[in-house]
Amino acid sequence: MSEDQPAPHAHKKSRKMRVSTILLILLCLIASGASVFFFTKYRQASSTGEAAKQQLLNTLGKTIELPSETPAIVTVTDKDKLTNKALAARLENNDELLIFGAAKRLIVYRPSIKKVIDMLTFQSNTEVPATNQK
């Protein structure tokens, strides 16, 4: 073998290094692209949720006077799991509960028919009443 030519195994090592470097760069680009994609989707979902919440408040605010605080809005997914059975009897799955903690008010809104089903007053933040208060 002459001094000008590299050893055969040295050529294979440099080729493997180039291939592994290219693969590593591609993997980093794919991971970065996926991160940007999912972060964008997350932000869209967050802003959509806030927009839907504000739309609900605007809709209800046109027909009833709402407390000035921002409510917690909960969607009923399984009414059978509620501990207050009297309240659960009035609810359907997918109803929206607007809970105004400081004002101690609860509004039950049914999006499927676009109506307020009930408005309740409760005594503490941990207990929701069983009777309708008007």
The domain tally of the chain equals: 2
Q: Tell me the whole-structure pTM to 2 decimals.
A: 0.57
Residues 97 and 49 in one domain: no
Per-residue pLDDT reduced to its tens digit, 34-72 = 998 888 888 777 666 778 888 888 888 888 889 888 898
Helix or strand or coil: residue 83?
Answer: coil
Q: DSSP labels for 3-66?
A: SSSPPHHHHHHHHHHHHHHHHHHHHHHHHHHHHHHHHHHHHHHHHHHHHHHHHHHHHHHTTSPP
Interatomic CA distance for residues 90 and 113, integer angstroms: 14
Residues 71 and 116 in one domain: yes
CA within 13 Å, CB half, 129: 15
Residues 59 and 103 in one domain: no
Residues 82 and 111 in one domain: yes
pLDDT per residue as tens, the chain (134 positions): 555 555 556 567 788 888 889 999 999 999 998 998 888 888 777 666 778 888 888 888 888 889 888 898 888 998 888 888 888 888 999 999 999 988 999 999 999 998 999 888 888 645 554 444 43
**Considering Cα of 66, then 67, then 73, then 75, what sign does the dihedral take?**
negative
Domain boundary among 32, 47, 63: 63
Residues 54 and 82 in one domain: no
Would residue 127 count as lying in a domain? no
Residues 48 and 88 in one domain: no
Torsion angles phi and psi, residue 130, rounded to 5: -95, -15
Residues of the domain holding 53: 8-63
Would residue 132 count as lying in a domain? no
Would residue 2 count as lying in a domain? no
Whether the CB-CB separation of 40 and 33 falls below 8 Å is answered with no
Q: What are the structure tokens assigned to 119, written together?
A: 């408005």
Residues 68 and 117 in one domain: yes
